[in-house]
Amino acid sequence: MRKRQYLLQQGAICTHLSFVAKGLLRSFTVDEKGRDHISLFAWEGWWISDFNSFLFQEEAQLNIDAIEETQLVMISRADYEALTLKVPIMDRYFRLLYQNSLATKDRRLISSHTHTAEEKYLQLAHSYPHILQRIPQHLIASYLGLAPETISRIRKSLALRQAD
């Protein structure tokens, strides 16, 4: 996929789970005011999909596009079922993958209620220090539910404190 290309658009059916071999994507919704809300970033080693659409073959509510040039390995719904039936260790693989994904989603939801803007940014920066440099600032703001100016302010404030 080239940069900015769509893997999935809202209203389509998400036919595959996609594993990122190289590159970076995001999944997001657009609200009625036209604002993006980013659900997930996926880079090398991560999977991305509209999970409800993939599992239940219903219309996707998410859009997915590439932030960088991206190479994917994709598996269809039927092959996913067949794979886990024929190769039981894949059940274990996906059980562990989903387990970690649930833990991450919980952490994010709790953080959204209990952390300040700076704490949210620092949690992300601490968890994924390298990836943060690959993602434009306005997309990080959208992921954290903050205004882009807030991210600018936090970065400046952190840089000043590090310089002390």
**Residue of 34, 45, 86, 88 that binds a copy of itself (CB under 8 A):** 88
d(CA 59, CA 41): 21
d(CA 12, CA 23): 23
Least distance between a copy of itself and beta carbon 50 (Å): 8
Backbone angles phi, psi at 85, to 5 degrees: -75, -40
**Residue of 20, 24, 25, 62 that binds a copy of itself (CB under 8 A):** 62
d(CA 29, CA 23): 21
Contact between 96 and 104 under an 8 Å Cβ cutoff? The reply is no
Binding mask 8-47 for a copy of itself (x = CB under 8 A): ---------------------x-xx----x-x--------
Q: How far apart are the first and last CA of the chain?
A: 43
Contact between 68 and 136 under an 8 Å Cβ cutoff? The reply is no
How many residues in the shown chain lie near a copy of itself by CB under 8 A?
31
Q: Which is nearer to a copy of itself, 68 or 101 (CB)?
A: 101
Q: Which residues bind a copy of itself (CB under 8 A)?
A: 29, 31-32, 37, 39, 50-52, 55-56, 61-62, 84, 88, 91-92, 94-95, 98-103, 105-107, 109-110, 113-114
